[in-house]
Structures are given as C-alpha cells and as structure tokens.
C-alpha cells in the first residue's frame, strides 16, 4: 500500500490516500509542473485550525484555574514551528515530501518550515478523511510523546534550569544527563538522553541535538516529579470544632 509505513507511524489508515499525497505536496512543485497543480497549502490552513481547536479545548478542560493569558502562552508553546517540525521528523514526513528539484537540492526535505507546514496539512487531511474526534485522538497521541498527559502547563522556557531548582530544593545533588543513543544518518541524527538524580533515572528525551534531547528529558522529568508531588500532597483537613466541656 502507498505510504504504508507513514500511515503505521500515524496510527491512521487513509480511506482516500490522495488526501495524504496532497498533504505531502510542497508548494515548490508548482514552479515545475504549473500553477494549476494543487499543493498542501489549503490543507495546512485547515489542519492549523483543527490543531488549535483540539489543544485549546484540552488546555481549557485540564486547567480550570488558569485564565486566558497562561493558556494562550501554553498553546503557543505547543504549536510553535520548531515543535511541529520535530513532530514531523518523528513521523518521518521529510522522506515522503513531494518537492521540486530545486527545493530538494537546497535541503527542503529537512527544512523546519516545510516540515511544520506538512505536519499541519497531514492533520487537515486526517480530519477530511475521517472526522473531528479521530483527528483529535491522533493529535493528542502525537503530542503526548513530548508533553506527557498535560498535567502542568507547558510554558517552561528553561526546563533544565527549572529541574535543577526543583531537585536542589530537596537535595544538594544536581541532575546529571547522559546520551544513551544517537541514531540516523549524519544529516538527520536523533539523540536520546537520560536525566538522573541521586543515581536514579528520572526520565528520557529525544531531539535533533544533544541539547534538545536533554531539554526534552528535563521537561519529562519535571512533569513526572510534579505529578508525584501533587499525589503526595496531604489532603486538607477541616478543623474540628472543640466540643463543650462537661461541668465538673
């Protein structure tokens, strides 16, 4: 089946694979094959709207105590171009992109802007091929690999620094990072890092560089530790009223 490997990674099988092919068609091909050829720009527009709605609803429901400001910042963190491009790379969208020869020669297959646009276009294609709930489930599944179960607002700009502050509040030891693997060709490496504290592995992360992998590991560790701290919080007890003393 065409694009079988990609559909397996997506966890979704297209009924109309022409939609998937359109989502993978970069605008540069119009320069070679004529302006009448359809590209993924319209699907990107649709996919962006679906993605925004899914994540807005998720944030709104999960964080009832936060107002518009923090929720908007969190959503921006989730949908920035670098994050979307990283999702595209994890799905291997680059190798399936349909590009012009010129764009191919200029490295367009790994260009972050092209990958981010393609990722949104694929989401738009899934939505058209199925329905909103199916697209929503796919989006949350993809984003869960980076942001966990969204138990804390993902607005952390310096996860390594925040993790160090958190653990040093209870221990003098600092987090230690290790690169455990580096896979893929030299131009498209994927690093996996672990972060440890007091000899215990806290979490793992992946990225296109050691720094990115360490940041993702730190973010995952922060999420995990904060979940544990939330669970460990003692329930607040309602103070009992002193009873009346019985006269002697």
Catalytic annotation present for 32: no
pLDDT in tens, 88-125: 998 999 999 999 888 888 888 888 999 999 999 999 99
Q: How many domains does the chain have?
A: 2
Has residue 239 been placed in a domain?
no
Has residue 88 been placed in a domain?
yes
- Note whether 174 and 141 are same-domain residues: no
Q: Using 50, 70 and 90 to split pLDDT, how confident is the model at 146?
A: low
6 or 243: which leads in pLDDT:
6
- Note whether 172 and 126 are same-domain residues: no
Q: What is the pTM of this model?
A: 0.62
Has residue 174 been placed in a domain?
yes
The sheet with strand 176-183 has its strands ordered as 176-183, 190-197, 200-207
Residue 243 scores a pLDDT above 70: no
Contacts 24+ apart (CB under 8 A), 172-179: 173/197, 173/198, 175/202, 175/218, 175/221, 177/214, 177/217, 179/210, 179/213
The backbone region for 233, taken as left when phi is positive above 0, alpha when psi lies in -120 to 50, beta otherwise, is beta
Of 58, 120, 192, 214, the active-site residue reads 120
* H-state helical runs in 98-234: 101-105, 112-129, 132-147, 159-168, 210-232
Q: What is the pLDDT of residue 156?
A: 56
Range of the domain at 182: 159-232
Q: What is the pLDDT of residue 37?
A: 80
Has residue 121 been placed in a domain?
yes
pLDDT in tens, 176-206: 999 999 998 888 889 999 999 989 999 998 8
Catalytic annotation present for 120: yes
């Amino acid at each position: 089946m065409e694009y079988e490997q990609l559909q397996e990674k997506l966890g979704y099988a297209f009924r109309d694979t022409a939609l998937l092919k359109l989502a993978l068609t970069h605008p540069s091909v119009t320069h070679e094959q004529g302006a009448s050829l359809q590209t993924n720009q319209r699907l990107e527009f649709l996919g962006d709207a679906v993605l925004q709605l899914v994540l807005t609803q998720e944030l709104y429901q999960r964080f009832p105590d936060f107002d518009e400001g923090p929720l908007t910042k969190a959503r921006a963190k989730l949908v920035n171009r670098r994050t979307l491009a990283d999702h595209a790379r994890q799905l291997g969208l680059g190798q399936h992109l349909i590009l012009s020869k010129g764009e191919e020669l200029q490295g367009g297959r790994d260009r972050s802007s092209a990958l981010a646009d393609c990722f949104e276009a694929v989401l738009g294609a899934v939505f058209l091929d199925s329905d909103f709930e199916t697209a929503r489930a796919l989006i949350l599944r993809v984003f869960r690999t980076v942001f966990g179960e969204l138990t804390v607002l993902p607005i952390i700009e310096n996860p390594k620094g925040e993790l160090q502050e958190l653990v040093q509040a209870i221990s003098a030891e600092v987090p230690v990072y290790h690169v455990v693997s580096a896979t893929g060709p030299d131009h498209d490496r994927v690093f996996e890092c672990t972060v440890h504290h007091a000899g215990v592995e806290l979490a793992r992360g992946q990225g296109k560089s050691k720094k990115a992998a360490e940041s993702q590991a730190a973010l995952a560790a922060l999420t995990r530790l904060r979940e544990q701290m939330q669970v460990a919080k003692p329930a607040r007890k309602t103070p009992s009223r002193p009873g009346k003393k019985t006269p002697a």
